[in-house]
Amino acid sequence: MQPRSKRDKVVALTQTNKKDKAHKGELMDKVKEAAEQFEFAWVFGIEHNRNNTLKEVRQAWKGSK
């Protein structure tokens, strides 16, 4: 019998929890309420958002919805 290799182990690199349908429903309700409350909505997507400029933008807009 050969010893088990330590290289064969599967290691999870994230510690995030899966989000269920209820979480998505709550998020959609918040979006709908905000759409009724505000006149404009800004939607944008960023791929690699780990640079310092985008960190400053997220910090500046932290209080907004």
pLDDT at 18: 81
Q: What's the token pair of residue 27?
A: 């998020």
pLDDT at 26: 93
Q: Which of 45, 47, 42 is nearest to 64 (CA)?
A: 42
pLDDT at 64: 72
The predicted model scores a pTM of 0.46
Q: How far is CA 10 from the centre of its chain?
A: 24
Task: Check pLDDT > 90 for residue 19.
Answer: no
| pLDDT above 90: residue 25 | yes
Q: What is residue 49's predicted lDDT score, i.e. its pLDDT?
A: 66
Is residue 27 over pLDDT 70? yes
Separation of alpha carbons 28 and 22, rounded Å: 10
Q: Please give the structure tokens belonging to residue 38.
A: 């505000």
